[in-house]
Amino acid sequence: MPSSQNTPCYIGDLSTANSLTSPKYIFLTDLSVFSTSEYSSASNQFPPNRYSSTNGSTLLPTEYSTLPTASALLRRSLDFPDLDLKIPGEPIICKSKATGQYWPASIKMYAGLRSTGCKRNSNQAGSFTKYYLVQFCDKILLEVPRSFFLTSIDREFYTVKMGRLHTTEIPFKQIYPKILNVLPHLDLIVAGKAQEPTVKERNDRFLQAALIQNALLVGDVVYGNYSDDLLYQVAQILHERYFLQPTTFVEPLDPRIFQLSKKVKTSYISDIILPEAIILITVADIYKEALSLSITPRKYAMESLKEPDIVDYINCLRNNPPKLM
């Protein structure tokens, strides 16, 4: 006779099933759901028309059959960048391999969590490590584990031996072909028809201020880490093209530029045309890299040019350790 009290049924415990009433329980050997009220104590079997595998019926999965594994739960809880890192831009000293030397670098982005060992059981939690995309001082990009680099909060950052660097200036002959490639875009700016709206507005404001108010535009001018000598040579080429040499342009130049004084013409080149030339050259250099990072090439070029020289920055940090260190 069925008991008036409800008794829980545990793994494989069918001996007490006839003492249960209406509640549903989980049979953990196959995670199927059954109603104890439908269990036949006389035949000690489930009704074949509902549970028999011969009738083609499939038992519905329970909410427990879709639970994530321990490994998946661990990955989900760890898969985010370390909160003490500034991304992008954190200055670091980094190795390219486990036994390599440290080099100046910066973090570009978080690259995700990766397994560091094999697992025999898919439900067993494995080991994971965080990876980051870093850019070394020679512009090489590499994904490395967190253990490969040190930041300014690490004591070893100030004491570890770094690899020897050989610094070379970019020669003018290397940048000259790049200047020639961007001249059509610069011609449009001087003609008052820049393709980039912000550049067109900047150009118009400069000319209007210079001619009407006799005041020059003071703005955020970015030249990157090019040497002063190189920038001077590029500025000379641009000044000669637009103010000294009789050149035929596809679009006529804005007549206002010829009304500028000699001093203001120099400022026009250094504040408007030269910075845009540097940006366009950088866009061409990093175009594919920017697309791979899902960022507009111009924005990425601007961010790259605004970054301080990472070698100088790292050396400055290492030469001035915090007092608590």
Residue 3 has pLDDT above 70, yes or no: no
C-alpha angle 104-105-109 in degrees, rounded to nearest 5? 165
Which residues are CB-contacts of 31 (< 8 A; sequence separation ≥ 6)? 61, 62, 64, 65
Minimum mean pLDDT range among 6-10, 196-200, 291-295, 301-305? 6-10
The CATH class given to the 70-158 domain equals: mainly beta
Share of the chain above pLDDT 90, in %: 46
Residues facing residue 213 across a β-bridge: none
pLDDT at 217: 55
Q: Can you tell me the mean pLDDT for 215-230? A: 77
Q: Where are the domains of the chain?
A: 17-66, 70-158, 172-292
In 3D, which of 27, 23, 19, 52 has the Cα closest to residue 35? 23
Q: Can you tell me the mean pLDDT for 284-312? A: 85
pLDDT tens profile 26-42 = 333 333 333 334 433 34
Whether pTM > 0.75 for this model: the answer is: no
Share of the chain above pLDDT 70, in %: 71
Residues facing residue 186 across a β-bridge: none
Residue bearing the bigger pLDDT, 321 or 71: 321
Tell me the two tokens of residue 257: 């530029």
